[in-house]
Chain A
Amino acid sequence: METNPYIKELAKYLTQLTKEEQEDVLDFYSEYILDAQMTSEAMIVHKLGTPKQLSRKILADYSIRALDNEEAGLPHYEPKSKKNIRMIWLVILALLASPVAIPLVIAVIAVVIGFFIAIIGVLIALVLTLLGIVIAGLAAIVGGITVWSASIPTSIFFIGVGVAALGLMLIIAPIGYLVIKALIQMTANFTQWIYNRYIKNKHKQKNEVA
């Protein structure tokens, strides 16, 4: 059965699924192709899309399902934001592979890229702010120690300011981390919404015409 070049090519794009999942997908489609008596590659592509297009739909579907399962409280094996980023990427690929109007694809990608730039911007701002606070704090502590012999109250004041700055940093860091995570989550939700709204529906509409 795996002699079909279409199935062979499809298999190449599914390597990130488990062996069992891959087998299940490939069995289903090789059986489908035989039963539908699609004898030529052109017929298969007409019905199922190119192997690459089909694989993107399959992967996007697996990815979104995995995310749903996670929300349902099932165990997961990788950090959620990493999974989200992968899902966003797969949905962009699925959009590119689907016959949605090109302007829409561009708009969606622009929005997603916009979110990413926002995330990176927040990240850079946060890192620089923290760095600034740390340097200022350390400088205050060092300065405080050097004036110890001249004036003990001044020295204690500076050391106190320095320690407070370091403490402040410890408070800001987790908040920044949460903000970045929330931004990634928002992008993921938006992408998933786009997937449900356009890829699934577009597909049905297209078929209707055919």
Chain B
Amino acid sequence: MSIPITTELLDGCVLALLTKENYYGYALTQRVQEFTPVSESTMYPVLRRLRKEKWLDTYDEPYQGRNRRYYRITDNGRTRLTEIQADWSQYRDTVNQILGGTTDGN
């Protein structure tokens, strides 16, 4: 996939993943890298920003004598996710029309 992902979409994807389960940093990065080529050093700023916006919060869980920091979506985060989903579906429909792609999703 050669189309770079925007900040807003990346935010949305991270939030969407977190609605299914809580992830720790490395596992979340792996999941995101499955669909878009973000670098290992991109995820920290993203997570930090999302937490600052209070769209997610964190908690620590012991793992093999150390702590793992888990990320969990907040109610604000769910609201934000809905907004991003709406933006995306509008954008996708417009691009599909212009590119002559499928007209499904209607």
Q: Which residues of A contact B (CB under 8 A)?
A: 1, 24-25, 27-29, 31-32, 34-36, 47-49, 54, 57-58, 61, 65, 200-201, 203-208
- Encoded as 1 (CB less than 8 Å from any A CB) or 0, chain B from 33 to 47 comes to 100111111101101
Asked if A35 contacts B26 (CB within 8 A), the reply is yes
Return the chain B residue nearest A69 by Cβ: B52
Asked if B37 contacts A204 (CB within 8 A), the reply is yes
Cβ < 8 Å to A, chain B residues 1-20: 1-2, 4-5
Return the chain A residue nearest B49 by Cβ: A65
> Interface size bucket, B side?
20 to 34
B68 touches which of A31, A200, A201, A206 (Cβ 8 Å)? A31
Q: Which 9 A-B pairs have the closest CB atoms?
A: A35-B26, A208-B37, A207-B37, A203-B39, A61-B45, A207-B39, A47-B40, A204-B4, A32-B26
Q: Which residues of B contact A (CB under 8 A)?
A: 1-2, 4-5, 24-27, 29, 33, 36-42, 44-45, 47-49, 66-69
B-side interface mostly: mixed
- A36-B26, A58-B44, A65-B49 known; 15 new pairs, CB 8 Å cut-off, are A28-B44, A28-B47, A31-B68, A32-B26, A32-B29, A35-B24, A35-B26, A35-B27, A47-B40, A57-B41, A204-B5, A204-B36, A204-B37, A205-B37, A207-B33
What separation, in Å, do the CA atoms of A144 and B66 have in the docked complex?
Answer: 83
Q: How far is the CB of B59 from chain A (nearest CB, A)?
A: 13
Q: How far is the CB of B1 from chain A (nearest CB, A)?
A: 8
CB pairs A–B below 8 angstroms (20 shown): A25-B44, A31-B25, A31-B26, A31-B66, A31-B67, A32-B25, A32-B40, A35-B25, A35-B27, A47-B40, A65-B49, A200-B42, A203-B39, A203-B41, A204-B39, A204-B42, A205-B4, A205-B37, A207-B38, A207-B39
Asked if B39 contacts A31 (CB within 8 A), the reply is no
What separation, in Å, do the CA atoms of A29 and B26 have in the docked complex?
Answer: 9
